Amino acid sequence: MIKKTNRTNEHASLSFFLVGFLSLILAFPLFMYVHRELPDYGWPFGLDRVLMFIFLAAFVLMVLRLFRSVIIAAVIVTAGLLTYGSFSGYYGFKNLVTDYKAMLYAFKYEPYHDKAQYYGDGVIHFKKEILDAINDNMPDVRELAVTAANGSFRNEQNRYEWYRTTIQCFAVFKKINGSWNYVSDPQGDEYFASAGQSARLLAGDCDDHAILMAAAIKAIGGTARLVHTTNHLYPEILIGNKNQLEMVNYLIKKILFPAESRGQEIHYHKDEEGNIWLNLDYTAAYPGGKFFAGPVLGVLVP
């Protein structure tokens, strides 16, 4: 009788452990889905996400105990969908693990939001000249951008293929900023070099750098904009929403620019529609480096 009771207790303990373990496994993909869909509430240390995960894990545990057979079927379906995604190029196990790692990394190294106020593109001086310079001689710019994309982060482009264009734009940043030589405008003249000319020279002032960077990013499918501050113009790249920023934050600090960004924050602006833009100034050692200039006076999207 005692042996039977012990076996029953052991079976109950094992069943409790398996149910708890299975609930955690199920909570991970459910949490990642909810995390992607819900807005960012800005709680410190990601406490809103921590509480959300605890709630989801407890909810899954309760449901699992009540509907074991249904949940087991759901596990099989979920595993099947992730397996299919892994082999077909859609969302699979690797994407799930990578997104989860990026989310945890963002809790530890949260990007810094510069709450700038925007006044539109009307404040940008020489708007026509800048736009003309960006669109001038695109073959030279395209050649520079493609050469940069082929020269850096090739393995990472394949490994994180959902972020291929962004990684290629970071390769362009690395190429241009690693070679850029600051040269002032002619005395008494506001000179805007064409993107094609700057692609050949890799030299000029902040206006020329911003023009070339915007044109090169545009040439390989990215989206850039120019930010005007007092006596300064610098480029930014469109990242997307807060969840995409988490992955980009992970890529920059852990994979692509670990030495340059060590001990530093990822700086970004958020526009009126909630889109996130990273700093690509010539003064930055990595994408999202610290902003060089003061308050934003205007922005221009080519």
Mean pLDDT, consecutive 10-residue stretches, the chain (302 aa), reads 49 56 68 67 74 80 72 72 74 67 61 58 77 87 96 92 94 96 86 93 94 96 92 92 86 93 88 89 92 81 86
Residues paired with 3 in a beta bridge: none
- Report helix, strand and coil shares of the chain as percent, to nearest 5: 60, 10, 30
Separation of first and last alpha carbons in the chain: 81
Determine contact, residues 206/229, Cβ cutoff 8 Å.
no
Supply the pLDDT for residue 4.
Answer: 46
Question: What b-and-e string marks burial along 253-271, b requiring 16 or more CB atoms within 10 Å of the CB?
Answer: beebbeebbeebbbbbbbe
Phi, psi for 14 (deg, rounded to 5): -65, -40
Supply the pLDDT for residue 200.
Answer: 94
Summary count for the chain: helices (H), strands (E)? 11, 8
Supply the pLDDT for residue 122.
Answer: 56
What's the distance, CA 184 to chain centroid? 33
Supply the pLDDT for residue 224.
Answer: 95
d(CA 66, CA 77): 19
> Phi/psi zone of residue 288: left (φ > 0), alpha (ψ -120 to 50 degrees), beta?
left
- Cα–Cα distances in Å, from 291 out to 35, 161, 227? 29, 29, 11
Supply the pLDDT for residue 239.
Answer: 94
Burial of 234 (0-12, 13-18, 19+ CB in 10 A): buried
Strands (E), the chain: 112-113, 181-182, 203-204, 224-229, 232-240, 267-270, 276-279, 298-300
The residues, any chain, with a CB within 8 Å of residue 218's CB and separated by 6 or more, are 134, 224, 302
Q: Which two tokens stand for residue 201?
A: 């020279």
Supply the pLDDT for residue 17.
Answer: 61
Supply the pLDDT for residue 20.
Answer: 66
Q: Which two tokens stand for residue 214?
A: 């915007």
Q: At 24, which helix (H) or strand (E)?
A: helix 2-37
> What torsion, rounded to 10 degrees, do the Cα atoms 194, 200, 205, 209 define?
80
Q: Which of helix, strand or coil describes residue 277?
A: strand
Phi, psi for 259 (deg, rounded to 5): -70, -45
Q: Other C-beta atoms within 10 Å of 99: how many?
A: 21
* Structural domain spans, the chain: 2-108, 114-300
